[in-house]
Amino acid sequence: MVDSPIVTKKFQKELNAGIASLVLLSVLEKSTEPMYGYQIAKLLEDYSGDASFMKQGALYPVLHSLENGGLLESKVEPSVSGPPRRYYEITAEGKETLGVWQGVWKQMKSFVDKAIKGV
Amino acid sequence: MIKSIEEYLDQLKAELKDSDAATAQDALADAEEHLRAALVNLREKQPELSQEAALNSVIDQYGSPAETASAYAEVERRTVPQLARESQKTESAVARFFGVYTDTRAWGALLYMLIAFVTGVFYFSWAVTGLATSISFSLFIFGLPFALLFFLSVRGLALLEGRLVEGLLGVRMPRRPLFTQPNLKWLDRLKELAMDRHTWFSILYMFIQFVLGTFYFVSFVTVLSFSLSFIAIPIMQEGLGIGAIYNNGIRYSFPNWSYPLLVLGGFLLWTTFMNLARGVGQLHGRMAKALLVTD
């Protein structure tokens, strides 16, 4: 029961819900130029190594919702091969929000670590 | 086993059939963009992989159609329904009637009514000119490329109108253009566009917008002038000493006791109009969605 894949999958999904926004904003803040979805997914693949935390397809709706919230902006540009690509870029509001979120994450992380270790 | 990107997109479309049409269109465009890029990349890196094996490895990382559809549904459920939630509030009819002044959708609808006049005239001229020249040029060889350009411009305008409708009327519309097969010959692309109901519906919308836009604009200006006139009568008569109505040099004035009624009447007229505008805006949004978004 403890290592039931369904329970773990659900736990992972719930964790991802908030973290995906933080990760995407961070990646786009670090990037010097606008990035498109596949580029971002590739970069995250490098970060996560063999472990896969979320399906790449799940990144896109998060990108849309961040854009809707004014934290990202995007433009569509034609590509040499295939359909046009949507390039995402962080906004000033996004940078500000990211700063706050990083603070929240830091506190959260130390809180969870303490709870796990039981110090 | 999914054999082609088209098959994946078909399955994704089927999974998304219960979700919002605009979300579905975005999801399909995202998947198409990602899968094509990932497939090209993987085949360059591992040319020994068969097309099908490469595709399945790419899909494995991207997520199955069911997983992808649920990811969109999940985010949409968490973020979009702000407007929907607002309208769920249970308020008395009176509070709802006067609450229209704080409703962004009502102000958005008013602005849309003004803009619709300009866009309506433009769409109409564009559609008439485009259709007429495409048909008459079809006598010559350059008629067909011209028709292709016209159809493509209609697609672009439909997307722009969608952004306007979503921004001002709060009805969810596609944020991305429809995908088309890459490497399609222009003649095939023209055929594809001409066979697509969506293209003709968009042109129909451009015609309808002309009539509606004019109607919206005229109602807006008329009701606004009447409301303001009623409210201004006391100021005109008492403050400036001008009668409300002049006829053959005779000044007719409203009696003093009617001032509060006139001001109240003007205010109520405008409030009613704003409520109507909000409703009409929602109806217009639904029509735009039916005509401009492919299902």
Domain final residue pick, B45, B80, B115 = B80
For A3, the token pair is 């290592």
pLDDT at position B269: 94
**Domain check: are B113 and B12 in the same one?**
no
pLDDT at A97 over 70: yes
A117 touches A52 (CB < 8 A): no
pLDDT at A2 over 50: no
pLDDT at B157 over 90: yes
**Domain check: are B57 and B22 in the same one?**
yes
Higher pLDDT, A51 or B137: B137
User: HEC string of B99-152?
Assistant: HHHHCHHHHHHHHHHHHHHHHHHHHHHHHHHHHHHHHHHCCCCCHHHHHHHHHH
Mean per-residue pLDDT for B30-49? 88
Taking CB atoms and an 8 Å limit, are B75 and A64 in contact across chains?
yes
**Domain check: are B64 and B90 in the same one?**
no
The count of other CB atoms within 10 Å of the CB of residue A63 is 24
Mean per-residue pLDDT for B2-26? 86
Mean per-residue pLDDT for B156-164? 91
**Domain check: are B154 and B102 in the same one?**
yes
**Domain check: are B45 and B111 in the same one?**
no
B293 touches B174 (CB < 8 A): yes
pLDDT at B241 over 80: no
> How many interchain CB pairs under 8 A, A with B?
92
In chain A, where the domains are located: 5-117
Helix spans in chain B (H): 5-15, 21-45, 51-62, 65-79, 82-88, 93-98, 104-137, 143-169, 186-195, 197-234, 259-292
The CATH architecture of the domain made up of A5-117 is: Orthogonal Bundle (1.10)
pLDDT at position A10: 82
A14-73: pLDDT as tens digits: 888 889 999 999 999 999 999 999 999 989 988 887 677 788 999 999 999 899 889 999
Domains in chain B, number: 2
**Domain check: are B101 and B61 in the same one?**
no
pLDDT at A1 over 50: no
**Domain check: are B231 and B150 in the same one?**
yes
Identify the residue whose tokens are 């944020």.
B175
**Domain check: are B39 and B108 in the same one?**
no
pLDDT at A5 over 50: yes
* B179 reaches A (C-beta below 8 A): yes
0.90 exceeded by pTM: no
B69-108: pLDDT as tens digits: 988 888 877 765 444 444 445 567 888 888 888 888 899 9
Higher pLDDT, B83 or B131: B131
pLDDT at position A119: 67
Higher pLDDT, B219 or B181: B219
For B181, the token pair is 């097969």
- Measured in angstroms, the CA of B157 and the nearest CA of chain A are apart by 15
| Alpha-carbon gap, residue A119 to B194, rounded angstroms | 69
Domain final residue pick, B27, B54, B80 = B80
Beta strands in A40-100, from DSSP E residues, in sequence order: 72-77, 85-90
| Alpha-carbon gap, residue B53 to B55, rounded angstroms | 5
What is the band of B256 on the pLDDT scale with cuts at 50, 70, 90? confident
What is the band of B211 on the pLDDT scale with cuts at 50, 70, 90? very high
pLDDT at position B170: 79
What is the band of B179 on the pLDDT scale with cuts at 50, 70, 90? low
Which residues, in sequence order, are CB contacts of B59 under 8 Å at separation 6+? Answer: B2, B8, B35
Looking at beta carbons, which residues of chain A come within 8 Å of B76? 61
- Measured in angstroms, the CA of A64 and the nearest CA of chain B are apart by 9
Q: Which of A55-59, A89-93, B51-55 has the highest mean pLDDT?
A: A89-93
Taking CB atoms and an 8 Å limit, are B67 and A41 in contact across chains?
no
Among B207-216, B241-250, B283-292, the range scoring the smallest mean pLDDT is: B241-250
Looking at beta carbons, which residues of chain B come within 8 Å of A84? 33, 177
**Domain check: are B236 and B125 in the same one?**
yes
Looking at beta carbons, which residues of chain A come within 8 Å of B61? 41, 45, 52, 55-56
Give residue B30's domain range: 5-80
pLDDT at B153 over 90: yes
Mean per-residue pLDDT for B15-32? 86
| Alpha-carbon gap, residue A52 to A15, rounded angstroms | 13
Taking CB atoms and an 8 Å limit, are B32 and A55 in contact across chains?
no
- CA A27 to mean position of chain CA atoms: 8
DSSP character at residue A72: E
pLDDT at position B115: 94
Q: To which H or E segment does residue B252 belong? A: strand B250-252
Domain final residue pick, B60, B80, B100 = B80
> Amino acid identity, residue B53?
A
pLDDT at position B263: 92
ipTM score of the complex?
A: 0.82
**Domain check: are B271 and B286 in the same one?**
yes
**Domain check: are B87 and B64 in the same one?**
no
**Domain check: are B76 and B128 in the same one?**
no
pLDDT at position B129: 95
pLDDT at B114 over 80: yes
